[in-house]
Amino acid sequence: MKSMNHYLCIATILMSFAVSAQGKKKSDKNAPPAATVPVTKKDSVVAPSEIQEANSGFFNHFFNKYTVATRFADYDVARDALYDIIVENPANDSLLLTLGFLYYENQRYTSAALVGQELLNRNPRNPVALELAGTAFEELKILDKALQNFESLYLATNSFAALYKVAFLQFDLKRYKEAQANADIMLTRKEADEMTVSFVTADKLNKDYPIRVSVLNLLGMIARDSGDSASAKKYFEQALAKAPDFLPAKENMSKLK
């Protein structure tokens, strides 16, 4: 559930920042500090309209350095250029968000999580920062912190995708009653049939399935691990009735005693 185009987001943020920085004529020292615009999709992040003024020559140099470095996949240089811009504009949340995505895409999950936490210190309800921190903590296998961020994301946005992540993290943490309650909620929502999730088939190919299939499989796993094999079989059968080639349910069914 994390197939988001982070690099499109980065380009959007920096281009918006460039336009704002170059468009100012005089410094407004009384301007309020920047705040990230709340969004629900990473590929639609917009830089805030209020930013600290940047020297256009300085900004152009490091923005161009960043652009060239990313073109040639030199992410160390790109990150260095981004830090130079951040040092001059420390209150701009969008620049920190760009840095966090850059860390995440290059599997620097500890740094991505720390950037996410810094953004959340500024605005605890920032949905993009909550998802950044949550996915980074999940990659680090710090599941309780990942769950905390995704729960906050769900409360802030009522996002079905966030609830999906919450339920599976609760299962991984053996919080079965909570996971079952959230899975039951998902089955009542229309997104269960409208949204899809990708799984590998028996032929080693990626295939999209309705999320309902995955949620039914989750309920089966919860029942199995709770010692209720009869209910587990029922849920696995329901998942397979909707998607006969859904490998996780087939494997789980074969392992039932």
| CATH code for the domain in which residue 203 is found | 1.25.40
Of residues 35 and 24, more confidence is placed in: 24
Flag whether 163 is in a domain.
Answer: no
Q: Is residue 29 part of a domain?
A: yes
Let me know whether 204 and 91 are in one domain.
no
CA distance 9 to 26: 28
Residues 162-202: pLDDT tens digits? 999 999 999 999 999 999 999 999 999 999 999 999 999 99
CA dist 145 and 137 (Å) reads: 6
Question: What pLDDT is attached to residue 24?
Answer: 39
User: Does residue 56 lie in a domain region?
Assistant: yes
The answer to whether the beta carbons of residues 197 and 214 sit under 8 Å apart is: yes
Range of the domain at 65: 1-158
Q: What is the pLDDT of residues 88-142, one digit of tens each?
A: 888 889 899 999 999 999 999 999 999 999 999 999 999 999 999 999 999 999 9
- 189 and 143 assigned to the same domain: no
Q: Say which residue, 74 or 40, is predicted with more confidence.
A: 74
122 against 13, higher pLDDT? 122
- Do 126 and 248 fall into the same domain? no
User: What pLDDT does residue 213 have?
Assistant: 98
pLDDT at position 56 is 62
Q: What percent of the chain has pLDDT over 70?
A: 77
Q: Look at residues 96, 126, 158 and tell me which one is the last residue of a structural domain.
A: 158
On whether both 98 and 187 belong to a single domain, the answer is no
* 108 contacts 9 by C-beta, under 8 angstroms: no
Same domain, yes or no: 198 and 143: no
Residue 112 sits in the same domain as residue 182: no
The mean pLDDT value of the chain amounts to 82
Residue 17 within a domain: yes
CA torsion sign for 188, 171, 162, 15 is negative
The token duo for 77 is 């240089």
Q: Is the domain of 105 the same as that of 226?
A: no
Indicate whether 94 and 182 sit together in one domain: no
Residue 73: pLDDT band by 50, 70, 90 thresholds? confident
Q: Hey, CA dihedral for 157, 162, 167, 172, is it positive or negative? A: negative
Total structural domains within the chain: 2
Say if residue 152 is in the same domain as residue 180. no
